[in-house]
Structure 1
């Protein structure tokens, strides 16, 4: 039997992405999100218009999509509830968001120069996708978000994840960090308590798998 509970969240499970972009002063911004999908050499990113990342993508038209593994969940969670905007809205402040100008330092991650775009890569991430924005589409009621179409200009992958002699990633060796209903999962199991879930007052509280 099915029920219709009126779901408030539809994050059934997507990869976590750390998107790096450039602020207007040339410094790097780094933000976690999980509304992303790819087809061929193109991707679609869903980002709320209040985010600093959305502002940066509109202005510069470039970004790097860094995919962390499940083992890097600590670094990703340290970025939760941070924003690159100096002005934090009352709603976000109530959820626990705070302004943080140096996201790389907060996460304990390292900037690595990209080859084809200006924003830096995250050195520790096993997958790094240098991208150019090709189109932007208003999304949702009142256009509260934007769907950014991006072209992947260059993909960097940790050598140990590439099947020898091919241009393919080993799906067994690659264990992406997944966000499922605001909780972190790897290999199908919960891997770390989520500050985001707590800030958004999700009804579940998951402990890491033993």
Structure 2
């Protein structure tokens, strides 16, 4: 029996992990952004004048019938959510990437926040019209749904709180918004033909955002208009480009 088999202290094959940390680790990496590949969501809310705002985002996740959303705290969407407590989460499929991208670098805020002006954003009042989406009446909330999106989730705000306040790399104020889904609309062509309450994953190709590029589960559609803003802008530093690769 070996020392490792007997569990002798210091004999573990992992005992040198601490010593390895003293050497350069090629896996260490500080990405400018953390867009690892999440669904694009078009959030529709109601403006103070009764018109609709439509904002693309990709910082959202679901658990049960609840969803957590991350936003720039200065956005018109957050302002509307605080005031009305309602929204619709419209989920586009990959074929809608060109329409979604018409909303890249647009804002409903007027005046425009300084950081968005620096990124080349444009103030747009009619987001539905700009992107070519058709607003349709919701059943449980005031904001309209986007008819072309295969999934539309009517939702109510449960809580809003500050996000990332201890993250020195987060350069803009952010909020986390928790919502509860009230009503689900799903196009028949993505629903299961075997179960009345299921989506068929083989027929549903959600639009994803991965490092400023739109992707589907089956294909890449196009580069996002956000790509015109260097990723390093989000990290608050000058671009770090690889000038020479290390040789082994």
User: Normalized against structure 1, the TM-score is what?
Assistant: 0.92
What is the 5 A alignment of 1:108-127? Answer: 108-127=132-151
- Runs ≥4 residues deviating over 4 A: none
Report SS of the residue matched to 1:155.
Answer: strand
Between Structure 1 and Structure 2, the one with more strand by share is 1
- Counterpart in the other structure of 1:195: 225
2:178 matches 1:146: no
Q: Alpha-carbon deviation of 1:49?
A: 0.3
Question: In the alignment, which of 193, 197, 211 is matched to residue 164 of structure 1?
Answer: 193
2:97 matches 1:97: no
Q: Alpha-carbon deviation of 1:86?
A: 1.1
Q: Alignment RMSD, CA only?
A: 1.6
Contact 2:205 2:218 in 1 (8 A): no
Contact 1:81 1:199 in 2 (8 A): no
Q: Which moved more, 1:155-164 or 1:140-149?
A: 140-149
Q: Give distance in 2, aligned partners of 1:201 and 1:39.
A: 29
- Gaps of at least 5 residues in structure 2 are 1-24, 167-171, 233-238, 240-248
Q: Alpha-carbon deviation of 1:114?
A: 0.2
Q: Give distance in 2, aligned partners of 1:133 and 1:112.
A: 21
2:77 matches 1:77: no
- Counterpart in the other structure of 1:54: 78
2:57 matches 1:33: yes
Contact 2:61 2:68 in 1 (8 A): yes
Report SS of the residue matched to 1:45.
Answer: strand
Report SS of the residue matched to 1:191.
Answer: strand
Q: Deviations along 1:64-91, whole A, 9 cap, x unmatched?
A: 0000000000110000000001112333
Q: Deviations along 1:100-147, whole A, 9 cap, x unmatched?
A: 000001001110000000000001100000000011121012782111
User: Normalized against structure 2, the TM-score is what?
Assistant: 0.78
Contact 2:93 2:207 in 1 (8 A): yes
Q: Deviations along 1:146-204, whole A, 9 cap, x unmatched?
A: 1111100010000111112420000010000000011100125321121112124578x
Q: Alpha-carbon deviation of 1:95?
A: 1.3
Contact 1:95 1:200 in 2 (8 A): no
- Gaps of at least 5 residues in structure 1 are 204-210
Count of aligned positions: 203
